Every structure is written in C-alpha cells, then in structure tokens.
Structure 1
Amino acid sequence: MYENLLYQNTDSLLSDDIKNDRLPGSILFSGPDASGKLTAALETARILSCKDKVPGKWQCTCSSCLSHKALLSSNVVLLGPRDCSLEISAAKKTFLNAFLSGQHEDAARYLFLRSIRKLTMRFNPVLWQDSDKLSKISAYMQDIDELLEEIDFPRELPDFDDLSKICDKLEKEALEFEEELMYDSISIAQIRNLSQWAHISLSEGKKVVIIEKAERMLEGVRNALLKILEEPPENTVFILTTSKRNSVMPTILSRVRTYNFTARTQAQSADIIDRVYHEKFDGSIEQYLQQFLSVSPDLIKQYSTQFYEEIINGHIPDLAQLISNCNKFDPRTILRIFFVNLYDIQKSALKTARGTYASSKCTKAICDAWNNITVYNQNVLSALENLVKEIALINRQNENALLEAYVKL
C-alpha cells in the first residue's frame, strides 16, 4: 500500500488502519504544501475500492484500481481550489521527453493524464448541477476529453510532432479552463449537491469525498459540511486536506482523525523529482514546479519589493502595470510568492518598538488582502488598492517606522 507516497510515515499508519478496519469515516490530512496529501487521498480512495484478495498493491489490475489510477472512478469526488497549471506543464515536459527517449513512457503518460484530470475532477457535474457556469464547464470538459482520448491508454501514440501538438493544445485548454473557472473557495451549493450524491448507495466499493484546502471554506460552507460529518452516509469516507490545521473550524476537527504529513528534506525532494519527473533538480518540489511559471519567482519578488518601496516612500504604485507584469497573478502561485515576499521584507521593521507595532499592523493588512482575494473573491486590483492605503497609513501613523527600518537594511 501507498508505494507512490514517498518519505511520509503516514503511509504505515494509514495502511494499518485500513488493514485492521479502523479507518474512520472522516479524516484530515494535515501538513505543508507539496507533502503528498492529495496523492495519499487519491491512493486511499483506490485502496478502499480495490477488488483484489490482498487489496492495495499499486500494480493491481482489477477494474476498480485501473479506473482509480486513471482518475476516472465514479466513486470519487474531488473539490477545493488548487493551482494545477504548473503540475500540468511539468508533466507535459516529462511525457514528451520520455516519448523521445523511450524510457518511462507509460509512467510519464499516466503522469500527464492524471495532471489534467486533477483539474477536471473539480468540475464534476455532480457538484455543479443547476450552476450558471455549467454550460461553460461542459464546453471546456468536452474539448479536453476529446484531446485526452487521442493520447489515453490503450491508444497507440502518434508521432512526436503530432503528440507535441496535442499536448500543447491540452495544456492551453487546461490553463484557460483553470484561469476562467477555478474557484477560490467551495460554495454551499456544492456541499448540498455533494450531500445528495454521498447518500446514494453503491453496489460495490466505497465512495470517497476529497476536499482540499479545508481551511479556505467560508463559515456557511463549514456549517453545511459539519452537518454531513455529524451523520456521515454509510460506505462514504470524507478526506479533508489542509496546510493550516489551526484555521480549520474546531467543531470539524473534533469529528475527524488527523494524519500528519511532514516537510521533506532537500535530498528527499530531489529524489522525488528524479523519480516522478526524471530530472535532476537541487531544490524543493515547489521550487521545481515554479520553473514553469509565466513569470520567474525572482522577478515576482522584485515586483513585490518595488511595490513596498514605492508605498513607504510616499508614492502610489502603478497597479495596472504591476498586475500586467505579474500575468494578472495567474496562477495563484504568483500571488502567493508576491505576498510572501511582501510579508518577509516588511519584517525589517522589527528592530524597534515603534517598528514592531507598525510591522504587526502591516502583517494584518497583508493577511487581510490575501484572504480578501483568495477566500472572499475580491478583485485583485481592489485588494491591492486597499493594501496600498493601509501600508501608507501605517507608515505615516508610526512616523515612517517602516521606511526608516527598510533604509537601514
């Protein structure tokens, strides 16, 4: 079990609980980003429906395992926001390189197919029925499914030029799909639709609901989910994931069993990148994927630093140009790098009592702006306009404490 979950002690705990029929109906995978939480959730779903006499082996060829490995099982519903674009781009590169070299071709093919489906699974019609976005979702899904069919198993792959064109089209369609329709938080309607689906009985196997970034749910959504967790449907397992366990509602935490994931070492990350993407890279998995951003991380940090410098020097940044330079902050990874750098550089004010107070106010303003965009769906331009005003006001009210500390760096 869990052969594809590398360098996490959680795999043995999960295996033991499944083998001994101790896995509860609601569990939480908690740990840092890129620590394998989604991999573990998808693998748990596969194992729970495996038809083999000794269930759980990755090489199992039962019909259930084959559909789960291809991420086509109707027994799984995946929801929650995620930046899928970087993984798709990285997987495409790996697939095309494997095709040219003739090494690891099937594994790389699975990798690319799964990277696309990790996006499309979030738009299951079960979740989006009666939504005004359903027609757009259906149009994208149809285009993507038609392209996937051309390279899916057991179909023989075309020559490299044609394969490359198909992969490029898939990447483009997927990125446009994500940019236009990826949501920042789950809606109450999705939870209600999910509840109806979860209560429909199955002839075999178990239903698994995977909810990523559980901390990003609004209060009404949390309460709606709580009602399902209080009386979970039979033969349905709920798997929540989070990188911020303290931000998950306490009443939800009281109804789930937590499995903790740890950050991998640099050597472990390098080994995973080598195994999965067949490339040597000296850095974290997140850093490897960030190579595929439309704007380099160094340049994003440069824009963030310039943004902060202009504000504390009494100038108003050109936000329209900033948003354009940062590719409209799409995918959200660009926004996260921008905000993390902003948070880090304002900590220079922690050298004095006055600066520490200003920094605490500044930290809150940055966090509020981030939440307004990623949780409450505020327009990026509006959120940055408010943040400019907040940081400028904090600096003035504290006698230029932010500017003085920054100048002394």
Structure 2
Amino acid sequence: MRQSFKNTISLSNIEDPAKQRLFLEYLDAALGQYSDSSGGSNHYDENGDYVDETALNVKLQEGSGTLHIRIIAADDDNLKSIEYESPDSEATEKLANTLIIESLGNALGAKKKPFFRRVWFCYIGEHLDGEYWLGSNIRIAPVDPEDPNPQFASSERYISIDMNVEAIDVHGAIVIANNRANLIAARLSLILNVGIYSPSSEHRWTIPEDHESPCERRQLGYRYNGPLLAELPRKGDICKLGKFEHSMHYRIPYFGGTIKFPVETRRLISAIDNSDSRTATAFDNCAFLYQLALNAGKYLPTVKLSYLVAAIDALCKAEVEFRDPSSFVRHYAMPTHDIDHLLNFMHRSVRSAHFHSGEFPFGEFEQTRRLNIYSGSSKRMSEHRYRECIKLIRAALANWAAIKIESYTSLTSKNS
C-alpha cells in the first residue's frame, strides 16, 4: 500500500450524494476509454475512513503508464478526497488531472445524454392484450405480439419494458433503465396480480413433443426475431394497443382471455409518483414484497400468504391511523361480516409462525394418503381460509388504491 500520492483534490465541496455518485460515474467512464486493465484493494484507515485504491494500465500515443488512484470516503460513502499519481508517465498524470477536473465539471453541471433501452421480463399466464403506455416515455408490450397460443394460462410469456433514459454513457443507461424497469415490474405485479420476473438463462430438462425421443437439457430463453428498435415506436405501430378492463379487485379470469391492465392502472401510478416520499416508498416496498409472494410462493401457500401480509405491513408505513396489517385490512377491505378469525389466521397462524418459527401451517412438506371416501375437515378449512385471506388482501389493496386515486384527483382539481 502506497503511503502518499503526489496529487490530492478535495471532494468535500460536493455535498449532494447524487452528484458525488455522478462524478464517480463520469470519471470511471472517462478512464475506461484509456485503460483496458486494472487492479486494486480497499480498507479502512486509522480514522475510520473508507479507502479505495486502484491501479490502472493507461495507454496513450506517447506510451503506456500506470495510474494510481486513491478515493477516500466516510463510512456512509460521502466522498472526502481523491489522490492520484503516475510514477512512470507524466503524460498519464496530466491526463488523470484533466479527466478528474472534467468529470467534476460534468457532475456539477449534470450533463447527460438520452438513451433508448429495452428491459425484458417474464410471467406465466395468458398473452398480454397489447402494448400499454405509462405516459409518453414508458411502453410495456409483449415481445412477440403474434403469439400463436395467447390463451394458454400455463405458458411463459416475454414482455418488454421500453423507455428513454438520460445517462452519461450506455453503461449508466443500462443501470438506470434496469432499476426503473424493476420498479415498474413490481408495481405491475401488484396491479395485475401476476408474478413478473426476470428471465433466466439456466439449463433445464425438457420433454420432446413426440414424447418418445430422449429428453434434452436445454437453455431457457427467447430468441428474438422481431424488429430491432433503436427508439420508442409510435403507439400501435408494431403492436396493437391493449385494452383497459376490470379493476384491481379479486376475480377469477375468464378462460381463453388475455391479460388486460385494470382501468385504474395509469391513475394509480400517477397518484403514487406524485405522492410524498413516505407514501411512494411504502407502496413500492409493498409492490416488491407482493411480487416476491407471487413468484416465491407460487407452489407454497405458506410463503405466498406470509409475504402478502408482509406487503400489507410495508404499505402500513404510509398510514397514520391503520398502522398494522389487521387494522389496515379490516378498514380497507370493507368486509360485510366478522373477519377477526381470518385476520388472526393470516397474521399469527401463518405469517408469524412461518417467519419466526419456520412453520408451514399449510403442510407443504407433509403428505397424507388421498382417500376416496373422506377429504378431511382441517385440510378443507385451511384451503377455505387461504382463499378468503387472499380475497381480503386483494380487496384492501384495491380499495386503498381507489381512495388514493380519488384523493390525488381531488387535489389536482383544486390546484388547476
């Protein structure tokens, strides 16, 4: 470890954490144009500061040189200073100084460029009815608009979330787009009640169509043969517009139909985007947990119901009065009968028992012989409670969304 570097520039004058991160991204992208290899280490010094040291092999017309960079930050990632030197190349050292100053200027001036990005996701279910737009900058559409079997409920579907983002380079654009798409996918999982997940490239065994040839281990994925988009297409150009139908309330879908966005989708997302940070964070955390419940709990009812209750718990952080799942569901589900036994079941018998004791009250790992003459009362009752709890949670979310939309609509009307 080198004891001291020749050049030091203070970074404490950049108080905005976002601009500090932007400076690092600008500098990393700029240095990447001159360096093809690097190595480094990190440690905490005697003052408790985080020290990250990197050695880069820099190639210039004048020749190659080694650039040593040391970035010092507090343990909360608040940048303090950057040190640098090149013991074997004065030109490399001058280049580093130029790039650091330019990166600081760009970060403080927040100069970015527009990029078009596509992010793919999957889900199991019927075909998406068409392309949907959230504003003018976000498009959600099936990757294959002409799927030959749109009605198959047990089929994997690929959808693309397309958008324009602003970033300093394509690598930054990828990160920004992925993060934004992940949030959209979680929100849609909650709104559509469909578990959307990222594609996997692992290999799995497959059964041949003739059921006679040997099984083959094949890689999961989708080979795209459609038009290569370089920008957002015009609405309806490459895929018909999808219909908005029904609401977020629990319902059994019709066989042979397609998945359609609920009528309140755009208004709810607009209301959340314009809410205070506490409400927006609570809703998004709820959406991520709801998405996890649908995907991780697809074949495990204990896991699914536990994380659905956890999702409600997260949304309670946006509430002033109804700060726990039971009071939240009791108020927003608007039940017409007593539901205390169901609230106790979902929160204590399932969620708490699973999270705190590792129990599986639905007996996922306990098999019993199936009898033709007796199905079993406890099993039947558990299945009934499970369905009723799912309906209550869905009703509470749908009614909460309706109230949030009404509140936002009323506020915008007063301000207009």
TM range (shorter): under 0.3
Q: Which has the higher helix share?
A: 1
Q: Which has the higher strand share?
A: 2
For normalisation by structure 1, the TM-score amounts to 0.22
For normalisation by structure 2, the TM-score amounts to 0.22
Higher relative contact order (CA 8 A, sep 6+): 1
